[in-house]
Every structure is written in structure tokens, then in C-alpha cells.
């Protein structure tokens, strides 16, 4: 029996019609005798809406926003013609998230966040599994928290990847019972039973881990773009799909900020020798990208990665002394505690510079973790441009007229941190 894994993001399940399209796509893609694990993100902008619920200071305001979110999902269920019992099942799964979040809120806002936003994935997968069953696809719903066991801080939990074969035992058994098993991305469960999250955009990573856990032959990530392109077509209309990318190259691109793949997605697949397909759910038979073992393969076109809304942080010792190894140990520990994903770093004699996506909550955690021994300064609203397999002339053309704050070059990679355009 062949196992496959598919992942659908929020845009592909944004409403009832989108969920119906997913059902048709899976019907077309899954072959006879094949069993598919389908990882689904929260619908559309649901996670943003749930973050608004979580951040509202008054319980009455939170409850009002929460009920609007529940009503939105109930409306989709009604549009799909799903049963009243299914709608109550979905409501119950969502309500359990509200209760868990409110209960833990006085003790830990981060734990409350994880409990709250998990409602999006639990609801969307309930809808997708129910629709697939309605159209005769023999689908089952699975709570991914029974498979992805996590540790570390809430909001950016970690999974012990070495345990995935053992952790996937029950899920593999379930996949023998149904043609399609629908489960969640992004969430997991800590040892204390609380819900955890793997960081925003963590559903791709979930799909990779689960593919390894069930012994799938590969993973297909369905996006609204035709595979991995050498640049954002909104910024570069001439952008083209890159048909083949080596695992190592994909790791580099994701680390540098390529938005089509979550940074942690590639490694477990590389270690397991599994391919990753990036395809368009808009045009499933159109251009696509296969990420696999292609040793020495270099893309035929330069790769351009732009990251806006960046923050440059400079970390100094409080007394202005030189930064030495002991200081750096503390700095990296604080960065780990805060959940900051470093996109670029640079050291001088007296300070350590770090570039990251702007996140005020993470910056506040970083300041707290650094303690009184360090001083933190920052500059917001910067842009990071990374060019791989290009040259200095290309970089100069792209940044002409822009003020350059930091520049680095390492092998085939050129990087510039730019002041925002006014």
C-alpha cells in the first residue's frame, strides 16, 4: 500500500467553494490503492482573527470576537450542506480551545495563545474531512496532537524528529482504515497535555514530519503559485518556476527567507530521502517544483528573495566592554528563548547585530532574556535582499538609489539590508 502526504494552506480552504475544489483535486490526484494523509491549515485569515481574540484585554470583547469566528465556520459548514451533528462536533472542538485558553490565560499568555489559535486548524480539518466523506472519499479526521509531541516554549515549540517513526504508529494504523486521513498542521501537544504551536507558517513542517512518521513516498505542498519561482512575481514579473531544486539549495533558500517553504520543512525529508513537490492548486497540471537529491545542481537563473518589515537589532554589553565568547553564549541563549529567527547576523568588537522579521512581542522577550547585562537598540522597517547565483551587477541594479545598512557576501550568496523607500 502506497502512502502519500499533501498539505493545503489557508488560501486553498478559505471558503466552501475552496474546500469543494480541494475535494475534487484530491479525487483526481489520489490513485487507486493509495492512502493519503492531508494536512490542512486554518481557513483564510482565521489565525489572524484568533490572534485578535487572544489579544483583546476584556473577556466580553474576546467572547464577541470569538463568537464571530465560530459563526464564520458554521456558515461554511452550512454552505457545504453538512449535518447538524457535524456542526456541533466542530463547535465543540472550537469551544474546547476557548475554554483551555481562558483557563490558562492568568498563568501564561503564550500558553493561552497556543490553545486559542489551535481552534482554526481543528475547525478547518473538521470541515474538510466531513466534505470528503460526503462526496464518498472514505475520509477520517485525526487529532495531530496525538502524534506530534513537543517540548520547549509555547508559540515556538520543538519536535524531537528522531522519534517520528514511533510517534506515527497509531496514525499509520488509521491510514490503513481510510483512503484519506485529514489532520492539522502547526499544532502539537506538550507533555503536560497543553496544546503547543510550532510557529507561524509551521504547517509545512508538520506535513514533512508526518510524512516521515507514516512512511509516505513524498510530500506535495499545494500553493497558489506554480511551484518555487526564482523571485516573487509581484516584484519580478519576469519570474519563472524552477523545476528542480536540490535539498541543500532549498535549505539555503528557506533559511534566507523564501516564503514558499517553511525553514524547517526540508531537513526531515532530506534525511529520509523523500521528495517534496510544490504545486499550484489553481493549475495542478501546470509548472511545479521537485525538491529532491540533485547533488551539485545549480539553478539556471538567479534567485531573488526580498523580506520587508525587518528589524535590525544591535546588542551591546551594558558597560560597553568588548563582546567575548561568554557574552555570545548568553546572547544566543536569549535569542533562542525569545523565538527570534535570525536572518542575518554580524559581529563587531563592541556589539552584535541581528536582523529578524519585526515582532514586537519577541523583541520584548529578548530584552527580558538578555537582562541587565546588555543593552538593546533597534531600527525598524528595513528590507533584506538576498541574491543567490547572481553577481554584484545584478545586486547593484536591484538596489540602485537605496541606502545600504549592511552588506554581506558568502560564496554564491549576496545580501544587503536596505533602508525602506519613502
Whole-model pTM: value is 0.89
- State the Cα–Cα distance between residues 12 and 281, nearest whole angstrom: 7
Domain boundaries, the chain: 2-223, 303-419
Q: What is the CATH number of domain 303-419?
A: 3.30.2130.10
The secondary structure of 331-373 as a DSSP string is HHHHHHHHT---SEEEE-SSEEEEEEE--HHHHHHHHHHHGGG
Positions in the chain short of pLDDT 70: 422
Q: How many beta carbons lie within 10 A of that of residue 68, not counting itself?
A: 12
Phi, psi for residue 263 in degrees, rounded to 5: -55, -30
> Can you state the angle between helices 59-79 and 16-29, rounded to 10 degrees?
50
Q: How far is CA 358 from each of CA 133, 381, 421, rounded to the nearest angstrom?
A: 42, 8, 17
- Kindly give, in sequence order, each residue whose CB lies less than 8 Å from that of residue 86, ignoring residues fewer than 6 positions away: 77, 126, 130
Q: What is the pLDDT of residue 201?
A: 72
Q: Which pLDDT score is estimated for 422?
A: 61
Quote the CA–CA distance of 279 and 23 in Å, as a whole number. 16
Q: How far apart are CA 124 and CA 182, in angstroms?
A: 10
Of residues 1, 3, 2, 6, the one with CA closest to residue 276: 6
Question: 2-223 has which CATH code?
Answer: 3.40.1160.10
Which one, of 144, 129, 59, lies nearest residue 90 by Cα? 129
> Alpha helix locations (H) across 146-265?
164-167, 169-175, 203-214, 247-255
Instruction: Report the C-alpha gap between 23 and 181 in whole angstroms.
Output: 13
Write down the pLDDT at residue 291: 96
At residue 344, the pLDDT reads 93
Stated length of the chain: 422
Task: Say if residues 7 and 204 touch (Cβ distance below 8 Å).
Answer: yes
Do 2-223 and 303-419 have matching folds?
A: no
- Residues with Cβ within 8 Å of residue 5, at least 6 apart in sequence: 36, 37, 38, 39, 207, 210, 211, 214, 216, 218, 219, 220
Q: Report pLDDT for 393.
A: 87
Report the pLDDT value the prediction gives residue 254, as an integer from 0 to 100.
85
- What are the pLDDT digits (tens) for 327-354? 999 999 999 888 898 999 999 999 999 9
Beta strands in 178-284 (DSSP E): 180-184, 187-190, 195-197, 219-223, 244-246, 276-280
Amino acid at each position: 500500500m502506497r502512502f502519500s502526504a499533501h498539505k493545503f494552506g489557508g488560501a486553498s480552504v478559505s471558503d466552501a467553494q475552496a474546500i469543494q475544489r480541494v475535494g475534487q483535486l484530491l479525487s483526481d490526484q489520489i490513485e487507486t490503492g493509495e492512502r493519503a494523509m492531508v494536512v490542512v491549515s486554518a481557513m483564510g485569515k482565521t489565525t489572524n482573527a484568533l490572534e485578535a481574540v487572544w489579544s483583546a484585554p476584556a473577556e466580553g470583547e474576546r467572547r464577541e470576537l470569538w463568537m464571530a469566528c465560530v459563526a464564520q465556520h458554521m456558515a461554511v459548514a452550512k454552505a457545504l450542506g453538512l449535518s447538524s451533528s457535524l456542526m456541533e462536533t466542530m463547535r465543540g472542538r472550537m469551544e474546547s480551545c476557548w475554554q483551555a485558553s481562558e483557563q490558562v490565560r492568568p498563568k501564561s499568555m503564550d500558553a493561552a495563545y497556543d490553545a486559542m489559535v489551535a481552534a482554526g486548524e481543528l475547525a478547518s480539518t473538521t470541515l474538510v474531512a466531513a466534505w470528503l466523506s460526503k462526496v464518498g472519499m472514505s475520509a477520517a479526521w485525526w487529532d495531530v496532537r496525538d502524534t506530534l509531541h513537543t517540548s520547549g516554549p509555547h508559540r515556538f515549540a520543538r519536535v524531537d524528529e528522531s522519534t517520528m517513526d514511533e510517534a506515527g504508529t497509531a496514525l499509520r494504523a488509521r491510514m490503513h482504515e481510510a483512503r484519506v486521513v485529514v489532520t492539522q498542521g502547526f499544532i502539537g501537544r506538550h507533555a503536560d497535555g497543553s496544546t503547543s504551536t510550532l510557529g507561524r507558517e509551521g504547517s509545512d513542517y508538520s506535513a514533512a514530519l508526518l510524512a516521515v512518521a507514516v512512511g509516505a513516498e513524498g510530500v506535495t505542498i499545494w500553493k497558489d503559485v506554480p511551484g518555487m519561482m526564482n523571485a516573487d512575481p509581484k516584484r519580478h514579473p519576469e519570474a519563472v518556476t524552477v523545476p528542480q531544486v536540490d535539498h541543500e539549495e532549498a535549505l539555503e533558500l528557506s533559511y534566507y527567507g523564501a516564503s514558499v517553504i517553511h525553514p524547517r520543512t526540508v531537513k526531515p525529508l532530506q534525511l529520509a530521502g523523500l521528495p517534496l513537490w510544490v504545486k499550484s492548486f489553481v493549475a495542478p497540471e501546470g509548472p511545479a517544483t521537485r525538491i529532491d537529491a540533485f547533488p551539485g545542481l545549480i539553478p539556471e537563473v538567479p534567485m531573488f528573495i526580498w523580506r520587508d518589515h525587518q528589524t535590525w537589532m544591535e546588542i551591546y554589553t551594558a558597560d560597553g566592554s568588548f563582546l567575548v565568547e561568554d557574552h555570545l553564549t548568553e546572547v544566543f541563549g536569549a535569542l533562542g528563548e525569545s523565538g527570534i529567527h535570525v536572518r542575518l547576523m554580524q559581529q563587531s568588537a563592541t556589539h552584535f547585530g541581528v536582523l529578524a522579521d519585526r515582532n514586537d512581542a519577541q523583541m520584548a522577550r529578548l530584552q527580558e532574556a538578555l537582562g541587565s547585562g546588555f543593552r538593546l537598540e533597534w531600527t525598524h522597517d528595513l528590507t533584506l535582499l538576498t541574491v543567490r547565483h547572481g553577481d554584484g551587477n545584478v545586486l547593484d541594479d536591484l538596489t540602485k538609489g537605496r541606502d545600504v545598512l549592511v552588506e554581506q557576501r558568502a560564496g554564491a550568496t549576496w545580501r544587503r539590508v536596505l533602508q525602506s523607500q519613502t
